[in-house]
């Protein structure tokens, strides 16, 4: 026991210095262990806001328990001043780790990815109680120098409980969200997601994105950058897949409603995302002895079976009825729509005329789906590749992913920007596979939004009515009409047009910046 009047904390040593506080290492004589103590500098002790922030930190810490949130044990008031008692953590700030590892993106890519996910997990827990409002690399400690063991610090400007906002501008401009500057009373958990988006971009690229408010004290106005104008992180780090590009960029949307709505939504979108090599998404072929060998890693086997073609629900259009029980034989389908990179190989190999947007600045990016292709263009590519276009029934069967009656490829949830590039979520197409939350149970991407996809059939609105109620195998419409079938919706479609059962059409010789295709192959 410590005798009355004896100082509990001794052997003070400075281990960190900030603008308003000094952090010390000290010995807790009562518990016999080292602790960290953050002491407010004397000139700030009369500042009521700073003192309230200290109390907030203690209260918040007692509300939250998470391995990636630094625990705070108590308020300190003694001969050293006023402050808070924290765990003593061995390690370095994330800012220092990033500086030390600048230029080593590929070697540390997996560690950076794990770090990013851990920060999201911690904030998912924190957001059940509070909003941080000052997330930045300086407020994240890396335990023992291991980036996969981050600890979030300094919840002092966080607000306890829902609706506790005020008109005070708080945070660090470089990582601050637009609403923190323009409407502080509207700050919520999506503001922290903006900061995490800025940090994520920096973590994966060693660069600060143009969405940063770092110059707002001079300009007095946050930058409003269209998302499609932001260089994707994969441009600077070849290990980043398009799906991770999309998540990070969407977190930095100017409007709160255009960002993911929670850290949990982002974590869900990250499920199944793995880091890749330089080639990124899309599937590839190798030509051996004049034959095309399908890369099975870029296609999936769709097992045959029986399913209900069409839609019997109240939201169905007349051309989606009547519902028919159809048998589909097994086939392989490309995981993504065909990309500009893949179509360019076809053009170079055959001398086939390139579509007009193959090298367009917005639509012609290598991993974006090729667009501006006619039905015959798509069929020519398919023939060269050793496959064909899917029939309308094959396409719908694959899109429904073995689910009973899904509205969208992933299920019933209304499409968000993490599910699909649809309803003008972006101003043009996006790299294939960008929307990881939209992957269906078969492992297929972009079946909702991005581009409409050519199907093999001629289009007739009453085609389903010509089929028997059940027992038909692998049907497709061969009766000549004025249009061919399109499926899936595009970046400029309404969300309802992205439903699995939605039928659309276009003249076979038409070219559109919203129409592409994918292939099927024999199983």
Q: 44-53, 151-160, 195-204, 295-304 — which is least confidently predicted? A: 151-160
Proportion of the chain above pLDDT 90, given as a percent: 58
Domains 9-87 and 285-522 fall in the same CATH topology: no
Q: What does residue 244 show for φ and ψ, rounded to 5 degrees?
A: -75, -35
H or E element in which residue 200 lies: helix 189-205
Q: What is the pLDDT of residue 2?
A: 45
pLDDT > 70? residue 33: yes
Beta bridge partners of 506: 484
Q: What is the pLDDT of residue 255?
A: 95
- Contact predicate 413/269, CB 8 Å: no
- Contact predicate 326/467, CB 8 Å: yes
Distance between start and end Cα atoms, the chain: 77
CATH class (in words) of the domain with range 9-87: alpha beta
Local structure of 34: helix, strand or coil: strand
In a 13 Å sphere around the CA of 99, the CA atoms on its Cβ side amount to 7
Q: What is the pLDDT of residue 276?
A: 64
pLDDT > 60? residue 294: no
pLDDT tens digits, one per residue of 368-405? 999 999 998 998 898 888 899 999 999 999 999 999 89
Closest CA to 484 of 515, 455, 461: 455
For residue 295, what are the contacts with CB-CB under 8 A and spacing of at least 6?
283, 284, 285, 286
pLDDT bracket for residue 155 (50, 70, 90): low
pLDDT tens digits, one per residue of 221-256? 999 999 988 988 887 887 888 889 999 999 999 999
Best mean pLDDT range from 11-15, 198-202, 294-298, 519-523: 198-202
Report how far residue 168's alpha carbon sits from residue 181's, in angstroms, rounded to the nearest whole number: 9
pLDDT tens digits, one per residue of 305-314? 999 999 988 8
Q: Which overall architecture, per CATH, does domain 285-522 show?
A: Alpha-Beta Complex (3.90)
Report how far residue 348's alpha carbon sits from residue 19's, in angstroms, rounded to the nearest whole number: 60
Mean pLDDT of 454-465: 96
Report how far residue 422's alpha carbon sits from residue 265's, in angstroms, rounded to the nearest whole number: 18
Q: 64-73, 187-196, 496-505 — which is least confidently predicted? A: 64-73
pLDDT tens digits, one per residue of 412-428? 999 999 999 999 999 99
pLDDT > 90? residue 171: no
Q: What is the pLDDT of residue 296?
A: 63
Q: What does residue 186 show for φ and ψ, rounded to 5 degrees?
A: -100, 5
Averaged confidence pLDDT in the chain: 87
Q: Which two tokens stand for residue 75?
A: 């308020």
CATH class (in words) of the domain with range 91-270: mainly alpha
Report how far residue 489's alpha carbon sits from residue 408's, in angstroms, rounded to the nearest whole number: 11
For the chain, which residues make up each domain, given as ranges? 9-87, 91-270, 285-522
Q: What does residue 160 show for φ and ψ, rounded to 5 degrees?
A: -80, 125
Closest CA to 224 of 260, 263, 177: 177
Q: HEC string of 375-431? A: HHHHHHHHHHHCCECCCHHHHHHHHHCCCCCCCECCECCCCCCCCCCCCCCCCCCCC
Other beta carbons less than 10 A from residue 485's beta carbon: 27
Burial readout 206-228 (b: 16 or more C-beta within 10 A, e: otherwise): beebebbbeebeeeeebeebebe
Report how far residue 194's alpha carbon sits from residue 17's, in angstroms, rounded to the nearest whole number: 27
CA 68 to each of CA 117, 273, 336, 387: distance values in angstroms, whole numbers, following the listed order: 11, 22, 36, 49
For residue 54, what are the contacts with CB-CB under 8 A and spacing of at least 6?
40, 75, 82, 83, 84, 156
Dihedral sign (CA 82, 87, 88, 94): negative
* Pairing outcome for strands 299-302 and 291-294: unpaired
């Amino acid at each position: 026991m410590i005798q009355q009047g004896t100082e509990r904390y001794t052997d003070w040593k400075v281990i960190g210095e900030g603008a308003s506080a000094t952090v010390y290492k000290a010995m807790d004589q009562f518990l016999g262990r080292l602790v960290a103590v953050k002491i407010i500098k004397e000139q700030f002790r009369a500042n009521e806001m700073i003192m309230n922030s200290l109390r907030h930190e203690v209260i918040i810490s007692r509300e939250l328990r998470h391995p990636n949130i630094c625990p705070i044990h108590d308020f300190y008031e003694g001969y050293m001043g006023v402050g808070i008692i924290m765990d003593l953590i061995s390690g370095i700030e994330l800012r220092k780790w990033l500086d030390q590892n600048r230029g080593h993106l590929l070697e540390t890519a997996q560690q950076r990815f794990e770090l990013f996910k851990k920060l999201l997990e911690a904030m998912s827990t924190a957001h059940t109680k509070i909003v941080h409002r000052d997330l930045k690399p300086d407020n994240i400690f890396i335990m023992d120098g291991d980036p996969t063991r981050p600890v979030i610090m300094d919840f002092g400007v966080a607000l306890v409980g829902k609706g506790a906002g005020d008109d005070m501008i708080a945070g660090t401009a470089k990582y601050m969200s637009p609403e923190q500057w323009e409407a502080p009373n509207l700050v919520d958990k999506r503001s922290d997601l903006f900061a995490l988006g800025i940090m994520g971009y920096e973590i994966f690229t060693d660069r600060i994105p143009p969405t940063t408010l770092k110059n707002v004290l001079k300009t007095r106005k946050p930058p409003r950058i269209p998302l499609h104008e932001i260089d994707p992180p994969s441009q600077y780090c070849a290990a980043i897949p398009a799906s991770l590009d999309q998540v990070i960029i969407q977190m930095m949307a100017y409007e709160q409603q255009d960002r993911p709505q929670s850290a949990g939504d982002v974590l869900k979108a990250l499920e199944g995302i793995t880091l890749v090599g330089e080639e990124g998404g899309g599937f590839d072929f190798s030509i051996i002895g004049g034959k095309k060998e399908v890369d099975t890693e870029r296609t999936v086997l769709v097992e045959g079976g029986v399913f209900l073609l069409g839609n019997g629900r109240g939201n169905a259009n007349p051309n989606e009825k009547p519902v028919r029980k159809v048998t589909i034989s097994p086939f392989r389908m490309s995981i993504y729509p065909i990309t500009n990179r893949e179509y360019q190989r076809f053009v170079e190999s055959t001398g086939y005329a390139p579509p007009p947007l193959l090298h367009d600045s917005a639509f012609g990016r290598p991993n974006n789906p090729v667009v501006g292709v006619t039905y015959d263009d798509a069929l020519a590519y398919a023939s060269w590749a050793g496959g064909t276009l899917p029939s309308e029934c094959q396409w719908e069967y694959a899109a429904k992913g073995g689910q009973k009656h899904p509205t969208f490829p992933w299920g019933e949830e209304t499409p968000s920007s993490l599910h699909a590039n649809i309803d003008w979520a972006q101003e043009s197409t996006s790299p294939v596979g960008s929307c990881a939350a939209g992957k269906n149970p078969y492992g297929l991407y972009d079946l909702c939004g991005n581009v409409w996809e050519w199907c093999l059939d001629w289009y007739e609105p009453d085609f389903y009515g010509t089929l028997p109620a059940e027992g038909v195998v692998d049907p497709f419409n061969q009766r000549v009409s004025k249009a061919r079938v399109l499926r899936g919706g595009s970046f400029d479609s309404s969300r309802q047009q992205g439903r699995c059962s939605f039928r659309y059409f276009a003249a076979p010789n038409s070219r559109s910046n919203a129409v592409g295709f994918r292939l099927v192959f024999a199983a």
